Amino acid sequence: MATAPHRILNDGGSLPALGLGTAPMDDAQTERAVTEALRTGYRLVDTGASYGNEGGVGRAVAASDVPRDEVAVMTKLRGRDHGYEETLAAFEESRRRLRLEYVDFYLIHWPLPRLDRYIESWKAMIRLRDDGLVRSIGVSNFTADQLTRLERETGVLPAVNQIEMHPGFPQDKLRALHAERDIATVCYSPLGRGNGLVNDRGVIGVARTHSVTPAQVILRWHVQLGTVPVPRSGNPQRRRDNLDVFGFALTEEEISLVGDGCHQRIGHDPEVHEEF
């Protein structure tokens, strides 16, 4: 059974080096996927209030033989719940659906700069962490300027920033800031979400060299860059393959070859996206 190593965070906590994404699976699909994934060796599960599947995650974690303190559950605050009191209330709803006494990682899902209430939400998250209800707090889709503002106005940096990242959009500048501030980079859409990366000739060639799949090559690329990918798949064999990326290593040349993409975002732009 494969397991991912852990990385230490800027708040003293730790994070598995690879996790399971659950969007856009519904509750029932999520429960089945997480149940099987925990048996396989996954120890990080990524969900969010806006995904509508926190209940499925909670049921799977509760029924698992894996000790609770070995499973890291990451969920997120949706846009309509920004604000101090709103965040506290939304967290309790997420915690109820997840059936957890505490949540390992609680993130602001989108900054919503036009609403401009993410500082209030961040202060509420600091309280949740200080009260022991959340182990680590973080954000998702935050830009360099927004991260800097969080620290300037509250004195607290996120432990993680979950962002779109893949070989076609490697986020070099933002990752450099993360490294400078010791913020863990968690990556959604790590395989490119249908943009053809797994069919790239260069990636296929590297996969043949190591006798692995193209997806495994891309996930290993993430791991060697020090980021934490959270691939999602409804296929049990692919989930097992996705976790099995710690038994081989890419050369510097191969890392450069895999990362030689078009450098285009395929998801929403956090400067303008509104998620409620």
Give catalytic residue positions. Answer: 51
For residue 196, count other CB atoms closer than 10 A to its CB. 11
